[in-house]
């Protein structure tokens, strides 16, 4: 029987890899280097009795290995993990990678490399090896020290930036003969692609997995997760981006779900297998004759990589507020050229823009940096003492002062910084969604509909869909009355002109997006159509249907985004009584000269303006629980107001009243106040069974306040808490609603829910 050459190739490659890896493990050397050596042994460059025959298939398998590796790198990235690495890791990664990339590019041009070869050389040198560094920390017994956690955080950010460097390099390679404008447009489209796919993935994938996981076994989970991985890679390729970007995105979407560990565990064996084949293929491309010829380049490249990483990584650590010792130790630790560099090298060769002789050069340089890394880590302490002994005292004092001031800075970001971050987040997020909807409707939906109906109706239907999407996201994009906005607006009149200007910029952007479909699909009466459509969108965005639909989408999205964290907290602590601790309550007496005396609570609009609620009024000896909006405020009334701490502080500032001596949590208030049960406020969590008359209705339509005389302060949807929910939010089965009212009314509402079972 004929044995296919691929079977023979894999048999020999894996046997050699297994033997060499055992030897390397025994010698305490990185196993990855063993796989590269095994690849070299089975390559045509090694005089052995056996050489790989089916090189093309092995190359294809190694490309699959890259896709699966990127998928698993994506599995390590969820948004909460990125936030947890801190500013030090982000600053260090940016400074180090940009600095080393620039140095590598300059060195490449100095030794006569082409522009693209120099760019790829800089990119390959800029990324450090996570595997080698982690192993060195474990062997040297320093894994628990402060600087090692900073280094690992930096490596997380480097892997993330490495993915985007690959995407940018692919774009540069394909469009190296085009202008900068076209390249920027392509990168902008890539940004839109990332935003849209991340939003769709976060919105759909966790919900889909939660519905089907009871039907899944390990085998089915492997098939599904890898199917989604390759599907995302294919879509990315069809849209003109790299397959690696699609695979990374697929992994990052799984990373945010509570099933991420199951997916990683189920696919790890396949990842290990294809990773081995990839590193074997790296070794098969190592030509010893090229290494012998280029030895004068390999040694300088290794030295430059070590020195540049030491300088720029240490600089990044110092700029982020770390001490000199921490910075130097971190810089020495980040010396080894990473396994990501092999992926970038493979990308350059596959795109035909990097000379093949650079492949063995970078592999040889990475081996040198890997072998010297433990020595560098051991000597980092001595080098730090050397610097301290030779640097001027003034320099050391300034560095110490800077480090102390940076680390002692109050973590609270100024209000302007918080609001600007929120402003640009909403501008980029919702603006991208609206823009993508407009472009997709004009260039995809309209041409497709023209095959089914005439041109006018195709345009009308496409515009209807576009403007429905715009109306859906108009409200959150133009939402300004949050706590930070209110605080800035009240703090100083000087804040108001720039804030109004930024609001106008959003309005202009929305107007341009609204006008684009009209301009593209309708020739006559564009101005009239534009005004009519703009008014219709504004009216539509205020309707209960649109508002409720958006709130449902937002709650589901945020719940899915935080699913992993919610699942972990529930496993650790069970169902937490979160609302009792998240909401504060304070009381104050209405002064005689208050400008709002005689006004109804509904006229004051404190809920909309400041996100607070008046839950009780004490008027003389009389207590009014959960007063209606028609209730007028009188001088001498004692108002009890609930809200979170920021909202309460905003109300103090707006009313120009002295802050109370104490602001208690809702739990503390209910535990200490009023032995009179008739006038006492109670707060209770009620599980919605689905049989209640208010299930499936928005809060404003439930009659819980008007008939049940209770107020909803929060809703928990699948574990995700919504504090002080919008009245348009719909109550669903299995939600947990937190209601406040008198003991009797809250008890009746809870009993009614139980009786409905």
Last residue of a domain, one of 655, 673, 691: 673
Q: Verify that 340 and 421 share a domain, yes or no.
A: no
Asked if the model's pLDDT at residue 2 lies above 50, the reply is no
Last residue of a domain, one of 633, 649, 673: 673
Determine the pLDDT at residue 122.
Answer: 92
Determine the pLDDT at residue 412.
Answer: 47
Asked if the model's pLDDT at residue 679 lies above 70, the reply is no
Residue pLDDT, tens place only, 115-128: 889 999 999 999 99
Please report which confidence band the pLDDT of residue 757 belongs to, taking 50, 70 and 90 as the band edges.
Answer: very low
Q: Verify that 361 and 286 share a domain, yes or no.
A: yes
Averaged pLDDT for residues 297-326: 88
Q: What is the CATH number of the domain that holds 255?
A: 1.20.1530.20
Separation CA 585–CA 587 (nearest Å): 7
Asked if the model's pLDDT at residue 80 lies above 60, the reply is yes
Please report which confidence band the pLDDT of residue 48 belongs to, taking 50, 70 and 90 as the band edges.
Answer: low
Asked if the model's pLDDT at residue 740 lies above 70, the reply is yes
Q: Verify that 142 and 246 share a domain, yes or no.
A: yes
Please report which confidence band the pLDDT of residue 134 belongs to, taking 50, 70 and 90 as the band edges.
Answer: confident
The residue among 21 and 144 whose pLDDT is bigger is 21
Last residue of a domain, one of 336, 368, 383: 383
- The answer to whether residue 745 is domain-embedded is no
Q: What is the CATH number of the domain that holds 583?
A: 3.30.70.1450
Asked if the model's pLDDT at residue 657 lies above 80, the reply is no
- The answer to whether residue 704 is domain-embedded is no
Secondary element (H or E) of residue 234: helix 218-238
Determine the pLDDT at residue 410.
Answer: 43
Asked if the model's pLDDT at residue 30 lies above 60, the reply is yes
> What backbone phi and psi angles, to 5 degrees, belong to 218?
-60, -45
Determine the pLDDT at residue 404.
Answer: 55
Residue pLDDT, tens place only, 59-73: 888 888 889 988 988
Out of 191-200, 511-520, 575-584, 713-722, which region has the weakest mean confidence (pLDDT)? Answer: 575-584
Asked if the model's pLDDT at residue 378 lies above 90, the reply is no
Determine the pLDDT at residue 24.
Answer: 87
Q: Verify that 22 and 127 share a domain, yes or no.
A: yes
Please report which confidence band the pLDDT of residue 49 belongs to, taking 50, 70 and 90 as the band edges.
Answer: low
- The answer to whether residue 719 is domain-embedded is no
Highest mean predicted confidence (pLDDT) among 76-90, 93-107, 158-172, 324-338: 93-107
Name the DSSP letter for residue 113.
-
Asked if the model's pLDDT at residue 158 lies above 60, the reply is yes
Q: What is the number of structural domains in the chain?
A: 3
Q: Verify that 117 and 24 share a domain, yes or no.
A: yes
- The answer to whether residue 548 is domain-embedded is no
> What backbone phi and psi angles, to 5 degrees, belong to 126?
-75, -20
Averaged pLDDT for residues 608-636: 86
Q: Verify that 457 and 368 share a domain, yes or no.
A: no
The β-bridge relationship of strands 736-742 and 681-687 is antiparallel
* Residues 6 or more apart whose Cβ sits within 8 Å of residue 696: 730, 731, 732
Please report which confidence band the pLDDT of residue 109 belongs to, taking 50, 70 and 90 as the band edges.
Answer: very high
Determine the pLDDT at residue 197.
Answer: 80
- The answer to whether residue 641 is domain-embedded is yes
Name the DSSP letter for residue 634.
-
The residue among 674 and 79 whose pLDDT is bigger is 79
- The answer to whether residue 626 is domain-embedded is yes
Separation CA 86–CA 320 (nearest Å): 10
Cβ atoms of 633 and 601 within 8 Å: the answer is: yes
Averaged pLDDT for residues 601-613: 83
Averaged pLDDT for residues 496-506: 86
Q: Verify that 465 and 321 share a domain, yes or no.
A: no
Separation CA 435–CA 447 (nearest Å): 18
Q: Within a 10 A sphere around the Cβ of 98, how many other Cβ atoms? A: 15
Asked if the model's pLDDT at residue 3 lies above 70, the reply is no
User: HEC states along 9-70?
Assistant: HHHHHHHHHHHHHHHHHHCCCCHHHHHHHHHHHCCCCCCCCCCCCCHHHHHHHHHHHHHHHH
Determine the pLDDT at residue 308.
Answer: 93
Please report which confidence band the pLDDT of residue 179 belongs to, taking 50, 70 and 90 as the band edges.
Answer: low
The residue among 177 and 290 whose pLDDT is bigger is 290
Separation CA 687–CA 313 (nearest Å): 52
Q: What percent of the chain clears pLDDT 90, i.e. is strictly above it? A: 9
Name the DSSP letter for residue 676.
-
Cβ atoms of 74 and 247 within 8 Å: the answer is: yes
Residue pLDDT, tens place only, 396-445: 777 776 665 555 444 445 677 778 888 888 888 888 888 888 888 888 88
Please report which confidence band the pLDDT of residue 243 belongs to, taking 50, 70 and 90 as the band edges.
Answer: confident
Average pLDDT of the chain is 82
728's tokens: 């348009």
- The answer to whether residue 710 is domain-embedded is no
Highest mean predicted confidence (pLDDT) among 38-47, 304-313, 443-452, 722-731: 304-313
Q: Verify that 376 and 472 share a domain, yes or no.
A: no
Please report which confidence band the pLDDT of residue 722 belongs to, taking 50, 70 and 90 as the band edges.
Answer: confident
What is the span of the domain harbouring residue 611? Answer: 578-673
pTM of this structure: 0.76
Averaged pLDDT for residues 682-691: 83
Determine the pLDDT at residue 754.
Answer: 56
Averaged pLDDT for residues 478-505: 79
Out of 165-174, 335-344, 706-715, which region has the weakest mean confidence (pLDDT)? Answer: 165-174
Helix boundaries (H) for 441-562: 446-450, 455-477, 483-491, 496-521, 526-541, 544-561
> What backbone phi and psi angles, to 5 degrees, belong to 391?
-75, 145
The residue among 662 and 133 whose pLDDT is bigger is 133
Please report which confidence band the pLDDT of residue 220 belongs to, taking 50, 70 and 90 as the band edges.
Answer: very high
The residue among 72 and 84 whose pLDDT is bigger is 72
Cβ atoms of 122 and 104 within 8 Å: the answer is: yes
Please report which confidence band the pLDDT of residue 300 belongs to, taking 50, 70 and 90 as the band edges.
Answer: very high
198's tokens: 């991340």
Determine the pLDDT at residue 104.
Answer: 93
Q: Verify that 373 and 419 share a domain, yes or no.
A: no
Q: Verify that 431 and 339 share a domain, yes or no.
A: no
Q: Verify that 373 and 424 share a domain, yes or no.
A: no
Q: What percent of the chain clears pLDDT 70, i.e. is strictly above it? A: 89
- The answer to whether residue 749 is domain-embedded is no
Q: Verify that 509 and 586 share a domain, yes or no.
A: no
């Amino acid at each position: 029987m004929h044995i296919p050459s691929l079977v023979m190739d894999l048999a020999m490659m894996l046997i050699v890899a297994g033997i060499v890896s055992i030897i390397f493990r025994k010698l305490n050397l990185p196993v990855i280097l063993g796989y590269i050596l095994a690849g070299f042994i089975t390559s045509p460059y090694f005089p052995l009795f056996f050489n790989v025959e089916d090189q093309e298939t092995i190359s294809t398998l190694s490309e699959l290995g890259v896709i699966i590796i990127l998928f698993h790198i994506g599995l390590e990235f969820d948004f909460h993990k990125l936030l947890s690495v801190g500013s030090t890791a982000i600053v260090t990664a940016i400074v180090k990678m940009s600095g080393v990339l620039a140095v590598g590019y300059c060195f490449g041009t100095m030794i006569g490399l082409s522009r693209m070869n120099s760019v790829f050389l800089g990119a390959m040198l800029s990324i450090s090896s996570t595997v080698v560094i982690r192993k060195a920390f474990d062997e040297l017994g320093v894994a628990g020290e402060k600087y090692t956690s900073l280094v690992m955080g930096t490596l997380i950010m480097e892997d993330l930036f490495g993915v985007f460097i690959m995407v940018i390099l692919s774009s540069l390679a394909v469009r190296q003969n085009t202008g900068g404008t076209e390249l920027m447009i392509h990168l902008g489209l890539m940004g839109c692609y990332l935003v849209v796919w991340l939003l769709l993935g976060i919105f759909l994938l966790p919900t889909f997995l939660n519905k089907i996981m009871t039907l899944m076994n390990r085998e089915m989970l492997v098939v599904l997760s890898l199917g989604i991985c390759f599907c995302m890679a294919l879509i990315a390729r069809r849209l003109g981006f790299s397959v690696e970007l699609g695979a990374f995105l697929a992994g990052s979407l799984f990373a945010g779900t509570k099933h991420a560990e199951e997916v990683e565990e189920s696919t790890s064996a396949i990842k290990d297998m294809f990773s081995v084949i990839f590193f074997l293929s790296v070794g098969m491309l190592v030509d010893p004759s090229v290494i012998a010829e280029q030895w004068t380049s390999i040694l300088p490249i290794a030295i430059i990589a070590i020195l540049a990483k030491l300088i720029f990584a240490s600089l990044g650590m110092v700029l982020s507020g770390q001490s000199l010792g921490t910075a130097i130790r971190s810089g020495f630790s980040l010396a080894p050229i990473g396994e990501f560099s092999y992926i970038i090298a493979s990308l350059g060769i596959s795109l035909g823009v990097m000379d093949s002789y650079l492949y063995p050069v970078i592999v040889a340089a990475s081996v040198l940096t890997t072998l010297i890394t433990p020595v560098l880590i051991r000597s980092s302490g001595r080098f730090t003492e050397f610097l301290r002994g030779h640097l001027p005292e003034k320099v050391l004092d300034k560095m110490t002062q800077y480090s102390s001031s940076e680390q002692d800075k109050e973590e609270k970001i100024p209000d302007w910084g918080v609001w600007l971050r929120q402003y640009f987040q909403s501008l980029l997020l919702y603006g991208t969604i609206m823009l993508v909807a407009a472009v997709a409707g004009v260039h995809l939906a309209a041409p497709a509909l023209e095959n089914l109906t005439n041109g006018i109706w195709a345009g009308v239907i496409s515009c209807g869909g576009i403007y429905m999407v715009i109306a859906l996201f108009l409200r959150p994009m133009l939402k300004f009355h949050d706590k930070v906005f209110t605080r800035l607006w009240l703090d100083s009149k000087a804040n108001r002109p720039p804030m109004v200007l930024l609001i106008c910029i959003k309005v202009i952007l929305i107007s341009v997006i609204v006008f684009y479909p009209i301009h593209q699909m309708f020739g006559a009466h564009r101005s009239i159509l534009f005004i009519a459509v703009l008014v219709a969108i504004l009216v539509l965005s205020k309707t209960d249907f649109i508002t409720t639909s958006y709130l449902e989408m937002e709650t589901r999205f945020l719940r899915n985004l935080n699913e992993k964290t919610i699942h972990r907290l529930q496993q650790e602590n069970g169902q937490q009584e979160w609302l009792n601790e998240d909401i504060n309550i304070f009381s104050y007496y209405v002064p005689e000269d208050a400008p709002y005396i005689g006004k109804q609570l509904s006229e004051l609009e404190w809920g909309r303006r400041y996100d607070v609620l008046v839950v009780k009024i004490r008027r003389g000896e009389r207590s009014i629980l959960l007063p209606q909006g028609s209730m007028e405020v009188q001088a001498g009334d004692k108002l009890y107001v609930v809200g979170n701490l920021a909202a309460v502080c905003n109300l103090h500032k707006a009313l120009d009243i002295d802050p109370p001596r104490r602001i208690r949590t809702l739990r503390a208030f209910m535990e200490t106040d009023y032995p009179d049960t008739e006038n006492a406020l109670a707060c209770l969590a009620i599980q919605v069974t689905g049989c209640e008359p208010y299930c499936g209705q928005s809060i404003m339509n439930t009659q819980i306040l008007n008939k049940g005389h209770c107020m909803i302060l929060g809703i928990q949807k699948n574990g995700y808490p919504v504090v002080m929910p919008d009245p348009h939010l719909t109550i669903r089965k299995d939600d947990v609603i937190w209601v406040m009212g008198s003991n009797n009314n809250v008890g009746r509402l809870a009993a009614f829910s139980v009786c409905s079972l």
